[in-house]
Amino acid sequence: MRGFGNFNIGIYVVVFSLLFSCSQGMKSQRFFVGKFTDEGQMGLQVLDLNPRNGTINFISEADAGPNPTYFCFSGDKGIIYAANEVMDFQGLHGGGITSLKYNPKTGTAEKIHEFPIPNGSPCYIALSPEKKHLLLANYSGSSVTVVKLDEEGIPVEITDSISFTGPDGKVSHPHMISFDPAGRRAYLTDLGLDRIVIYDFDNATGRLKEKPGGIVSLEEGSGPRHFVFSADGSMMYVINELNSSISVFQVDDAGGLTALQTLTTLRADFSGISYSADIHLSKNNNFLYGSNRGENTIVTFRINSDGLLNLAGHTNCGGDWPRNFALSPSGKYILVGNQISGNISIFSIDEKTGLPAWPLADFSVGAPACIKFQQ
């Protein structure tokens, strides 16, 4: 009888552990949405994704300044840095950074600081690996800017600003600047000049230094926009806005890029106007996703063992103009922000094929520009 009792106790322990694990896995997943705004509108929403059924619950909204179209997190300081994509900020010519203090207990964010970016109009913002600087790509300003943070994580000083000019009247349009997974180098995509620029970053001075041979040219008219790296940093995938394609590069030990493959993101029978936008890897790194504004699809590629891509399929985006999307932390869902139709479509992801299934739910949000889950 003693052994039987111990057996029962063992069963109870296992069942309790399983239930606890499931309850932990069923916790709501917090995410944030930055939006294009009209005067007086709140530009940042705090939302929860229900991991059981893929529905969204509204938590709060906050003033993140005008057009907070991209943002990043401070990490341990609980600050959200929003890039204000405008050319008039606080009465000055240029854009800005709006800093918000986030309270995870209440799910609210409060504006605590504004910092102007002269001649800026930033469309992308990234935190440096040492968490002491912000790097911004200024689309309309044809420049990149580096901003120093103080000990409290507040922007205090511009430490570097680089402006670009193109040949034959071409206009530079920097669209993204971010680091490789190891944090050794910064990469910039210039949509207007069809190129990627590779930099070393000096953490002490907050300055960028272009690497020798650090300019990588892409096909004319391709318009490189956003990029992601493989988990080990050996491959780089770039989505090209203007010719709707994805380019695959091998990354060498010095950070240099070698072009390996370029594939269209569009269906073979599509003949309309379309512009690619966002790009992300699946959680298991087996699939690559891109969004097409115009064709209004999410394209899925299977990643081979050599890092090259094979088309897996296309899924309608559930709205109009999928500017941005995000994968849930579990990798089970993909949330697509459709700018023109003003909604977020939630898809479940087929584990075997990697393809998003038809939308499980839909959430009205205004004009979404950036979706990110809490880090």
Domain-wise residue ranges, the chain: 63-163
Place of tokens 């393809």: 355
- Res. 359 pLDDT band, cuts 50 70 90: confident
pLDDT exceeds cutoff 50 at 7: no
- Res. 25 pLDDT band, cuts 50 70 90: low
Higher-scoring residue by pLDDT: 143, 358:
143
How confident is the prediction for the chain on average, in pLDDT?
A: 93
pLDDT tens-digit readout, 28-46: 999 999 999 999 899 999 9
**Residues 167-174, mean pLDDT to the nearest whole number:** 94
pTM given for the model: 0.93
- Res. 310 pLDDT band, cuts 50 70 90: very high
**Residues 46-75, mean pLDDT to the nearest whole number:** 96
| DSSP per-residue string spanning 184-219 | SEEEEEETTTTEEEEEEEETTTTEEEEEEEEEEE--
Taking alpha carbons only, the member of 18, 69, 73 closest to residue 43 is 69
pLDDT exceeds cutoff 70 at 10: no
